[in-house]
Structure 1
Amino acid sequence: ATKEEVHLPTPHDLITQEHVLNVLKADRGTDAQLISWEIKDFTKKGDNMATFVTSVIVSYTEKGKSGKVSYAVKLNPCRNIKELDSSLPKIFTKEISFYYKFAPKLNSVLESVGQPPLRIPKCFHFNKEVGKEAIFLEDLRSRGFRMTEAGLSGVNFSHTMLLLKEVARLHASSWVLQQKRHDRDLGEEFEFLKLGFTKPSDAESHFFSKMTMRGNNVAITMLEHIGGYQKVVDWIKMHKASFMDIMQSMLKSSPPFDVACHGDLHVNNTLFRYDDDGNPVEIMLLDHQVNRIASLATDLNYFLFLNLTGEVRGPNLETFLQTYYDTFKEIVERSGEELTFSLEEFRQEFRNKHCMALVFALFLSPLLVTQTEDFPDASEFFGNTSEDVTEKERENILKAFDTNEALRKKLLSVFDEMEAVGVFD
C-alpha cells in the first residue's frame, strides 16, 4: 500500500457493532434488540489526556417498546507516542480489573457495615485487545451528574467534603479487606494493584523524568520572576534530577496507612449531581486507571493541593482531615476491626507525603499556566519532551502569571504552605 492508502485507526474505529450489541445485552437484557447506534463526542480540549472518552447513543427495542440509551466509552487514544503506548495496556487492565474484580469485594465490605455501594459508574463491557482497548460504562449524565467547573478558582468546601467522604469509603473498605486477609497482601490477590508506576519501565521512567524536568523549569521561571521564593527555587534545582526517586519513595508501602488508592484524584475525574439550588448532593468517582496500593495520604495530598486554592484549603484543612478520618474510622469499627492509627498519626502521615503533591504540582505547572483556549491536546503536551523553556514560552508563562491573579495565588499557595511546614528545609 502507498503511504496515502494506509489508514491509521482513530479511537472511533475501535467501537464496533459487536461491542455495542454486547453492551446493550449486558445493560437491558437478552430481549433487547439493537436498531441503530451513533458515536457522539462530548469532551472538550484538554479532557482526554491518558485515554479518549466519547459516547455511543443506542436505539433499541425491548418487548415491543422502543428506547434510546447513551453509554460512555473509554478508548485507546491511538496516538502513536511510544512511551505512552507502552503504558496503555496497564491502565486499561487496572480499570477493567477494578470494576470487575475489586469493586464487588469492596462493596461487600460496605454492605456488611450498612453502607451503600461505592459511587462509581456501572461497567457493561470491555475489550482488552492491545491497541484496541475499550471500556463501555454507564453514562452518568443521564442521571443528572456533570463535571464541576472548578478551573483556577478551585474546588469549593461542599464539593471537597463530598469527595473526601467518598474517598474515605474507598480507602477504608480496602483497608478492612486487607485486615480480614491477615498476612496475605491485597496486591498478591489483586495483582493489577501492583502494576506499574511504582516500578515503571525504563522508557516510562525516562519519559516522566523529562516531563518533570520541563515542569521544574517552568516553575523556576515563574518563581524567579516573582521573587521571594529563592529557598523553593534552590530546593527544586537541587532535587530536579531525582523527582522520579522522590515520587517512588512517596509510593512505597507505609503500613498501617496502605490502602487501595485511586491514584489520580483530580476533580476532572469526578462527577457531581446537584439539587435545585445548585448545591452538590452526590459524587461519582471515575477513571480508576492508575489505582495502586499506597499510603492513603498520597491521594489526599494530590487532591487537596492540586485542586483547592489556599483560601479554601488553609482554614479548612483540619475539618477536611477530621471528616476523612471519622468516615474511615466508622467503617473500620463497624466491620469489627480495630483502627491501628490515631488522628494525630494520620495528620503526621499526611504531612509526610507532602512531596507527592509537590512533584505533581511541578509536573503539571506547564498546564496550569495555559489559558483554556490555548490548552494543548495530549499529543502536544506529551509529545513535547524538551526540558527547556523557549523564549516565546517564557514570555507566555510570565504573561499568564502576571495577568491571572487566580493562577498566581493557587500555585504560590502550594509553595507557601509547604515552606511553612518545612518541606524545603
Structure 2
Amino acid sequence: MSDDKKSLVHPGDLLAAVRAIYGSDCKILGWDVKLGNETVQGFVALMLRAQVEVKTPNGGVSEVNLMVKRAPTVAGQLAMVENFGNIIAREGIFFSTILPRLEENSPNLPIVKALVAHKDVIIMEDLCAAGFKNIPKSMQDIGRGKKLTFPLARMCVRKLAKIHAASANEKWTKIMPVEFFDVDTMADSKNTEHFQQFLSLMLHTVIIPIMKKIFLDTPSIDKFIEYLSSPQLFSNAIDGIICDKNKGPNVLVHGDCHLNNMMFKLDDNRNPIDMRFIDFQITRYGQATTDLVYFLYTSAGKEFREKYEMDLIRAYVEAFNAELCVTPDLLNFDSFWKSYEEARYYGVVVALAIKPMQFLTAFAPPSGGELKDEYFEEKDKIANLPAIAAAAYENDILFKEEMDCLIPHAMAVMNKYVFA
C-alpha cells in the first residue's frame, strides 16, 4: 500500500474514532488505508477504508475497520464538488447534531453509525465488515440489471418510515443550526442549479430526440417539447415537494434515496434481514412522499411500480403509524396515497434526468478503481451524447424499452397535473 492514501487520513481522527469504541485509554498501534468502495467511488466525496490496529484498555490488541469520507483529491472531481458547497460539513451536522436527537425519539435507527463527524471528515463503522453489502455494483446494475426486488423495496420503505416517524414531531427549522436550513438543498441551493443544468442536458440530448421518434408526426407532442424546455418544468417539481402540512407529515427526508445509498444484510437465500441507509449530505425538511417517489422512480421501472407500488406505500403507512404509536393514526392510507400521486410529478422529472445514465455505459464511472481527472474531462462526451443516445435507442433493446415506457408515462403524469 502506497503512503499517499495513508496520508489522506489524520491519525487524530482515527484515534478519536477508536476511542468512541473502546474509551479514552486505548492506543493506536498502526493503520493502513485503501480505497473504500468495492465498485465505484462516490462522485462528491472520496471514500477510504482504514484498518486500525488498536491496543485496548485491557491490554489486548484488536483490529478495527472504519470507513472514512473526506473531500476528493482529484482536481476535476473537486471542481464538480464546489457546485454543491461543503457537503462533508453538512453531513457532519446531520451525524453530530440531528441524528442524536432522532435517536432520542427512536433508538436503533437504520442509519450507518458515525464515530467522528466534523467539517472535514466523517469516520463511520465499516458496514461491509459487519456483513452488509450494496446490492447494485454500478449505476447500470439498477436499470439494466433490475436489482430491486419486492422484499428489498418493502424493507426499504419500512425502515424509511422509522426514520421519518422519528422526525415527525420536531420543529426542525427552529431547533437546528441556521446554516443547515438557511437554504433548501432541492429548492434554492447550488445543488439545485447543478441538477437543473444536468436535467436540461438530458432532456435536450436524450429525452426530446427520442420523444420525437416515439411520437413521429403527432402534432400534440409540440406542447410537451415546449414545456420540457421551460423553467416551469423544474419549478413545478420543486413546488410539489416543499413543506405542506396539508399533504401529510413534513419530516426530515433523506433526499437522495436510491438503491446505491442503501446497504443490506442478506440470509443464505439472499433475502434481506437488515439494512442501513448511507449518504445524508442532502438531507432536507419536506414532505415524506419525496423520498418514496425518488426511490421508486430511480431504483425501479414502470413494470415494478405498477405491480408493487400501492403495496409498498401501504407498508410504509403501516410502519410509520406503528412507529409513532398514537391514536388516531397520524397517516390515513387514502389521503397519503393521494399525496403520493401528486408527488409523482417530481418522480418523473427525476427519472427523466437519471434513468438515461443508468443505461448509457459510455458515461459510467470506472468500476473497482479511483476516479481520475480523465473521467471529468467531459466536453467530448457531452458533444457526442446525442449520437450515443440515438445509437443506444436503435441498438440497445433494454434502453429502448425503458425510454418507450418512461417517456409516455412522464407525458401522462404531466398531462394530468399540468395540462389538465
**Which bracket does the TM-score occupy, shorter chain normalised?**
0.7 to 0.9
The 3 A distance-change label for structure 1 pair 32 and 396 is same
For structure 2, the 5+ residue unaligned runs are none
Deviation at 1:11, TM superposition (A): 7.9
Code of the residue aligned with 1:355 in structure 2: it is Y
User: In the alignment, is the contact (CA less than 8 A) between 1:329 and 1:339 conserved in 2?
Assistant: yes
What is the match of residue 397 of structure 1?
A: 389
Matches within 5 A, 1:21-170: 21-43=15-37, 46-62=40-56, 63-78=58-73, 79=75, 81-82=78-79, 84-85=81-82, 87-89=84-86, 91-111=87-107, 117-128=108-119, 133-149=120-136, 150-152=141-143, 153-170=146-163
2:173 pairs, out of 179, 187, 200, with 187
1:211 and 2:202 equivalent? no
User: In the alignment, is the contact (CA less than 8 A) between 2:105 and 2:166 conserved in 1?
Assistant: yes
User: In the alignment, is the contact (CA less than 8 A) between 2:162 and 2:319 conserved in 1?
Assistant: yes
1:261 and 2:253 equivalent? yes
Deviation at 1:277, TM superposition (A): 1.3
What is the match of residue 298 of structure 2?
A: 306
SS of 2:229's equivalent in the other structure is helix
User: In the alignment, is the contact (CA less than 8 A) between 1:194 and 1:293 conserved in 2?
Assistant: no
Structure 1: distance between partners of 2:222 and 2:164: 35
Calculate percent identity across the aligned residue pairs: 19
What is the match of residue 230 of structure 2?
A: 241
SS of 1:172's equivalent in the other structure is helix
User: In the alignment, is the contact (CA less than 8 A) between 1:119 and 1:284 conserved in 2?
Assistant: yes
Deviation at 1:146, TM superposition (A): 0.2
Deviation at 1:399, TM superposition (A): 2.7
Structure 1: distance between partners of 2:211 and 2:374: 25
What is the match of residue 360 of structure 1?
A: 350
With the length of structure 1 as denominator, give the TM-score of the two structures: 0.83
The 3 A distance-change label for structure 1 pair 22 and 324 is same
Structure 1: distance between partners of 2:409 and 2:134: 28
User: In the alignment, is the contact (CA less than 8 A) between 1:165 and 1:324 conserved in 2?
Assistant: yes
Q: Per-residue CA shift, 1:164-210, capped at 9, x if unaligned?
A: 000111111211x33xxxxxx32111242554424535x65543332
SS of 2:313's equivalent in the other structure is helix
Matches within 5 A, 1:286-325: 286-325=278-317
The 3 A distance-change label for structure 1 pair 341 and 26 is closer
With the length of structure 2 as denominator, give the TM-score of the two structures: 0.84
Structure 1: distance between partners of 2:348 and 2:5: 33
For structure 1, the 5+ residue unaligned runs are 1-9, 112-116, 179-184
SS of 1:101's equivalent in the other structure is helix
Q: Per-residue CA shift, 1:340-396, capped at 9, x if unaligned?
A: 55211111111111121122222224522322784375977776589x963x32232
Structure 2: distance between partners of 1:251 and 1:351: 12
SS of 1:140's equivalent in the other structure is coil
SS of 2:273's equivalent in the other structure is strand
Structure 1: distance between partners of 2:385 and 2:290: 31
Structure 2: distance between partners of 1:46 and 1:125: 24
1:375 pairs, out of 365, 388, 395, with 365
What is the match of residue 213 of structure 2?
A: 225
Deviation at 1:83, TM superposition (A): 6.2
Structure 1: distance between partners of 2:237 and 2:27: 50
Kindly report the root-mean-square deviation, in angstroms, between the aligned alpha carbons of the 2 structures.
2.9
Deviation at 1:281, TM superposition (A): 1.2
Q: How many residues align?
A: 394
SS of 1:241's equivalent in the other structure is coil
The 3 A distance-change label for structure 1 pair 424 and 85 is same
User: In the alignment, is the contact (CA less than 8 A) between 1:36 and 1:58 conserved in 2?
Assistant: yes
What is the match of residue 4 of structure 1?
A: none
Farther off after superposition, 338-347 or 283-292: 338-347
